[in-house]
Chains A and B, each alone.
Chain A
Amino acid sequence: MTDELLPATLGDAEPAICTRRLASGRSRYTADVANPKALHAAFLRSPHAHAHILSMDTEPARAMTGVAAVWTGKELLARVNGYAARTAVHPEMKVPLQHALAVETARFHGEPVAIVVAESRARAEDAAAAISVEWSPQPPLCDPGSAADEPPLHPELDTNIALHLEQASEGAEAILAAADRVIERRFAFNRHTGVPLEARSIVADFEPCEGRLEIVMSHQCPHQMQVEFARLLGLAQHRVRIVTPDVGGAFGVKQQLYGEDVAVCAAAVLLGCPVRFVADRAEAMLTDIQAREHLVTARLALDADGRMLGFSIEDTHAIGPYLQYPRSNLGESRALLSLVGAPYVLDCFFGTADIVFQTKAMAGHYRGVGHPLACTVTEALVDEATRVSGHDRIAFRKAQLVRKLPHRSPTGVLFERLAFAECFEALEKAVDLHVLEAEVAKDRARGRIAGWGVAAFIEQTARGPGFYGHGGQSVSSRDGAVVRLEPSGTIRCLSSVTEQGQGTETGVRQLVARALGVCSDAIEIITGDTAVTPHGGGTWGSRGMAIGGQAAWDAAQSLRCEILRLAACLSQRSPEALDLLQGAIVERETGLTIISLSELAAMAHFQPYRFGADRQPQLSASAEYGPLDQPFRAGTGIQLSRIEIDPVTGAVHPLRHLVVHEAGRVVNPLMVDGQIRGGVAQGLGAALFEHCAYAEDGRAEATSLARYQVPMAVDLPDIELVHAGHPTFTDDGLGIVGVGEAGTVGAGAALLNAVNDALAGTGAAAVFTLPLTPPRILAALGAI
């Protein structure tokens, strides 16, 4: 290990490795990978939210031209195991068994019930349409508030409540009961989804003689899928290989197991030939995981001086009919129960959460998981408190921020690093809030409906094994890297991180380059292939650089030590007297070149005897890294939003959006900025209009991008970024903190506060139901 003091920024704003190729039309997404022998899969899906399958007739489909096979859920049972997302952390959780294809009952609109494999996608779709099903429609279960009272969706579980959670600090109820003032608001959060532009896709190929399943798929966590496909199909884990080529966005949507993927793999195994499935947009909108449908009743207790005493919340989280496999669905409610109130010094917390089943699409871990909810509940209530008490929004927050570290919140979470004081200082340096306030006042005086708001947020990144490890789930919180010195003196790095556009590969390459004193171009990074990289977690929870980057750095440091030892051998010097700089081994003191890295590499590979009779040059090094007992690394920040409301249409126009952020050591500022801006766009989309709507009969309404609005360029302002200074590196290793979700976490809350500020300016009451659609805004204004 080097003990040199590292700077706050470890690398330059290097453009991402693959973007020149992608901008040239030379993509390699899963659907681009030609496999002329592949058959095409299509699925018959439930047209009902909830219905029993009385009978299915697949004969007409089997008889059609070009059809290779048809399987129903019942027929696949013999070949594929069912699955249930249990966790040992909550053995009391009610977990229904799920199958790749629904067997007796379909429980959401779009749930696959049969797979057809044919010579073309069009033929497969024709045949799927020829399958006749006798359905017995059952009542849908749509309203999360009434889930507890409805007949159980899974009769064997007796209840629609999968899990009840409670989190309370000691004496919380007494403190809350004695408060001088309690502000209570009810929040309704909209179900929304990630919409990666490349829909889920998979090509599975099976070699029956060797029992080897090779899969190319669009996924964030290939190693997790290797484990699960082997388990569910009864194959040897080391003979299941997952390759993730270019992945066209993921955002948490491509993190879990989908029934269609299992069915495609089963079809490949049963047919002994490659089978391909590329979801179309309607299928993606029906079956991609959706997220964040919550009803939250929240209270903020204040003392007579207006000091915040604590929060209490009652959360109902509506998931789909099953728990997402293999991770389960605890993340969102757990985030609410651990992060509400987190930026502030409080005396107490009390919270409950019910995770309930319903007949909608599966829920999962979309970018930010529950963090945006916790931030919104906290910051909207803080604003309500200041509106009621007449306090200044910024001064009120600053007076009660967590400043002393480490800090244990009344929710029981230990924060080792938070930088709220630094962030507020940076915010006030970047924006003259008095001028902003005056501008908004001027707008209002001219009859405009204008407002601004802020939200302080925490992003828990780079999680350790505390949940999945204790839960007994096969989800790695570690990553690994192998760094090899090639005979030409160039470097090959095999890393278990995965790339969906974040620039993780680029960052890993920069860290290896820095550790080995070579230019980035001298390094080739290989990711996304379980046959060649070490096992690791891939992409989830903002961990690529903090964990995968650390592993690559550690491996590169090992290789560096060996290179210096070999050079020392040749030059009769001590390794400590040498350094690796610009592709050469130099004398540390004089800068004199001892030998170029390329000469040393060729010598070590082809003339190893030159390093001594008893020394075997070791030209590859590996390292694996993951937090052992550290639950997470926190990034902190503040977002500011300024908006105007069109009084005629009710449309909310974001005019300005600013993010102040602190996230430890930065590897590549260009990638960090890209992550934050992209994250903000998704957070604003969710707050403004994204909504997975369902009809009363439980059928999905948002089945296309015409009926599910995501932000386009005209919907968004430029997003200003301020990186707060004075980071403290209390973490182990490089002290990198994740940034993948920060933008999403605080954007919606800042926007909601700005909208409610604007509404308050007109005398209208605040809104706590999302998204902030024009009809909802017009209703709040009393215009409709």
Chain B
Amino acid sequence: MEDVKIADIFNTLDASVLLHLAFIVGIAVLCIMLIQKILPWLGGQLHDQRRHYVLALVPLLRLVIVVGAFLLSLPLIIEPSLQNMVALLGTLGLALGFALKDYVSSLIAGIVATAERPYRSGDWIEIDGVYGEVTHVGLRTVQIISPDDTLYHIPHLKIWNELISNANNGTPRLQTVADFYLDSCHDGAIARHILYDVALSSAYVAHREPIQVILEEKPWGTHYQLKAYPVDPQQQFRFRSDLNIRGRAVLVSQGFKFASAAWATASE
């Protein structure tokens, strides 16, 4: 009896309806493919904030197209009355809830991620211990490319209960930290001043952002953290290397001694 009722809510799918459906799906797929090709390419040509805006448009436009295609297709498949909708969605929900729970959860999380934007293309995020740049926010997964050039596909459902850290949150501001470990016997004010100038004189530094030198006393010496922002988040590793190379060279030339590894290991 129930089967008959469910079957009754569907329209007759004749050739013209199928053609119409195929047309809608085809156009939607074509639009999504074009958006997924053109916007990332355009984003790659741009820099600064504009790059993030353009890349963030991809999942949003795709969602709009999917919803639009669904709304256009629905009246072709069923008579869109409240009763029919409740019956269809209830049945679908029951089926999907058992069979494709995680898949559907990821799809819904993908919609939530588009609205809440915990990550966008171009962001540097860490999920489940994986750090990298978001290259694509798909319907079900987010793609991250790590600094060692490994591509990770992470399902959106992680946003429900995993800690997600976003280093730049849709902006070109991404703080980079370079660590220096010095022997305790030195003038901290001079070391701090030198490290400040190391960051200020870097070719990568974003001048409009603050530069900070934080130091912390440890049993084995002093731990310095030089915090600054590169012009482009993609430069963060080169920027850190540059700070370390030049910082070490200047500190050595000024007679500073670095903390001994044996001391640090013993104290830990």
Determine if chain A interacts with chain B. Answer: no
Interface residues of B, Cβ cutoff 8 Å to A:
none
Interface residues of A, Cβ cutoff 8 Å to B:
none
